[in-house]
Structure 1
Amino acid sequence: MNRLYFFRKRISYRLTNNRTKKIAVITALLAIFPLLLAFGVETIERGTFGDAADWIAANPSLFAMNALIYCFALLLLYGLIGSLFPAVGCTALLLFLAALISHYKTKMIGEPFFPWDILLKKEGANIIPLVTNQTVLVRVSVVAAVVLSLFLLRLFLPRFRMPVVSRIVMVLLAAAALQNLAERTPAAQRLYDRAGVNEVVWNQKDNYGYNGFGLAFTLNIQNSIISKPPGYGEASIATVAQQISDRRNASTVTPKEDQPNVIFIMNEAFWDPTLLPDVTFSEDPIPTVRRLQEESTSGYLLSPQFGGGTSNVEFEVLTGNSMSFLPSGSIPYQQYIRQPVPSLASYFQNIGYKSMGIHSYDGWFWNRDSVYKWLGFESFKSKEKFDDPEYKGTFISDNEVSRSIISAVEESSRPMFIYAVTMQNHGSYDDGRYEENPIQVQGNLTDEARNLLETYTHGVRDADQSLQMLIDHFEQSGEPTVIVFYGDHLPMLGLDYEVYKQGGFIGTQAWSLEEQKKMHSVPFVMWSNFELPQDEVPTMSNSFLGAYVLDKLEMELPANFEFNLDLFKQYPGLLTGLIVDADQNLYNTVPDSAKSVIDPYRELQYDILFGVRYLAQYLDADYLSGSALADYNMEFDAPTAVAAPAEEEEESI
Structure 2
Amino acid sequence: MKKINANTKVRNGKILESGKRLYEYMFKESSRLRSTGTAAAFLMYICFWVFLEKGLNAETEKLRGLFCLDGVLLLGLLGKIRVSDKVRECLSVVLFLAAPAFALGAIETLHDNSVAQMKFLFVFLNYFLILTVFVILYFFINRFAWTIAVGTGIFTFYGLLYSFVKEFRGNGLRAADVYAIQTAANVAGGYTLDFTEKRVAVILWAILLIIAAFYLSYENHRRDRIATGAVSLCFVLVLSFLISNETFLETYSVKPYLWELEASEKDHGALLDFAAGLPFLKVQKPDGYQQKAAADLELEKGSLGGTSLKVEKTENVENPHIIAIMNESFSDFRKLGAIQTSREIMPNWDARQENVIKGFASVPVFGGWTANSEFEFLTGFSNAFFPSGTIPYQNYVKQGTPSLNSQLKDEGYTSVFIHPMDSSGWNRKNVYQFLDFDASLYLENMKNPETLRNLVSDRGDYSILIEEFEKRKEEGPVFLFNVTMQNHGGYTGAGMPNPIQITSPGENFVWAEEYLTLIEESDRALEELLQYFEQEEEPVVVCMFGDHYPKIEEELYEALSETATGNPAEKTALEYQVPFMIYANYDITEKEYENISLNYLSSLLCEAAGIPLTDYQKYLENLYESYPVVNVYGVKNSQGEWFTWDEALQFEEIQEYEKIQYRNLFDNH
Q: TM-score, normalised by structure 2?
A: 0.58
**How is 1:201-212 mapped onto 2 (pairs within 5 angstroms)?**
none
One-letter amino acid matched to 2:486? Q
Q: Deviations over 1:356-410 (max 9, x none)?
A: 1111111221111221121131111111221221111121110012112222222
User: What does the per-residue CA deviation read over 1:558-609, in whole Å, with 9 as the maximum and x for residues that have no partner?
Assistant: 1211111111221011123410111211001265797332223222222222
Cα distance change, pair 596–249 in 1 and its aligned pair in 2 (3 A): closer
Structure 2 partner of 1:426? 488
The 1:245–1:564 alpha-carbon spacing in structure 2 relative to 1, beyond 3 Å, is closer
- Confirm or deny: 8 A CA contact 1:394 1:433 kept in the other structure: no
Number of the residue aligned with 2:501: 440
State the SS of the aligned residue for 1:482.
strand
Q: How far apart are 1:169 and its partner, in Å? A: 11
CA shift in 2, pair 1:421/1:540, >3 Å: same
Cα deviation, 1:523-560, whole Å, max 9, x if unaligned, reads: 11122211111111111111110111212333310121
Q: Which residue of 2 aligns with 1:472?
A: 531
Give 1:59's aligned residue: none
With over 3 angstroms needed to count, the CA separation of the structure-2 counterparts of 1:337 and 1:264, relative to structure 1, is: same
Question: Which one-letter code corresponds to 2:503 in the other structure?
Answer: Q
Q: 2-side partners of 1:219 and 1:389: how far apart?
A: 38
Going from structure 1 to structure 2, the CA distance change for 1:252 and 1:468 (only over 3 Å counts) comes to: closer
Match of 1:342 in 2: 402
> Which of 300, 317, 326 is matched with 1:243 structurally?
300
Secondary structure of the corresponding residue to residue 593 of structure 2: strand
Residues 603 and 444 (structure 1), Cα distance of their counterparts in 2 relative to 1, 3 Å cut: closer
Q: 2:547 aligns with which of 488, 498, 502?
A: 488
| 2:355–2:589 Cα contact (<8 Å) kept | no
1:382 aligns with 2:439: no
- Sequence identity, in percent? 27
Match of 2:149 in 1: none
Map 1:296-375 → 2, pairs under 5 A: 296-375=356-435
Amino acid of the residue matched to residue 660 of structure 2?
A: L
TM-superposed deviation, 1:170 = 12
**Partner residue, 1:227:** 284
Separation in 2 of the partners of 1:521 and 1:589?
A: 18
Q: Is the 8 A contact 1:453 1:493 kept in 2?
A: yes
Distance in 1, matches of 2:325 and 2:597, equals 16
Bigger shift: residues 390-399 or 288-297: 288-297
Paired with 1:522 and 1:245, the residues of 2 have a C-alpha distance of 28
User: What displacement does 1:224 show?
Assistant: 5.4
* Counterpart in the other structure of 2:599: 543
Q: Distance in 2 between matches of 1:315 and 1:443?
A: 36
Secondary structure at 2:326 match in 1: strand
Segments of structure 1 that go 5 or more residues without pairing to the other structure are 1-76, 96-118, 124-163, 185-198, 614-653
Contact 2:569 2:642 in 1 (8 A): yes
Aligned CA distance change for structure 1 residues 347 and 225 (closer, same or farther; 3 Å): closer
Q: Which moved more, 1:282-291 or 1:586-595?
A: 586-595
CA-based RMSD of the aligned residues comes to: 4.1
Could you say what secondary structure the match of 2:412 adopts? coil
Counterparts of 2:606 and 2:411 in 1: how far apart (Å)?
13
Cα distance in structure 1, aligned partners of 2:441 and 2:237: 47
Q: Which amino acid aligns with 1:242?
A: L
- Kindly tell me the number of residue pairs found equivalent between the two proteins: 441
Whether 1:454 aligns to 2:518 is no
TM-score relative to the length of structure 1: 0.60
Q: 1:572 aligns with which of 628, 631, 635?
A: 628
SS in 2 for 1:368: helix
Asked if 1:516 is matched to 2:572, the reply is: yes
Do the aligned partners of residues 174 and 286 (structure 1) sit closer, same or farther apart at CA in structure 2, a change above 3 Å counting?
Answer: farther
Q: Is the 8 A contact 1:79 1:171 kept in 2?
A: no
Kept in 2, the 8 Å contact 1:445–1:503? The answer is: no
Is 1:416 matched up with 2:416? Answer: no
For 2:366 and 2:499, the matched residues in 1 are separated by 26
Give the conservation status (yes or no) of the 8 Å contact 1:577–1:587: no
Distance 1:444 1:240, change over 3 A: closer
Quote the Cα distance in structure 2 between the aligned partners of 1:223 and 1:385: 32
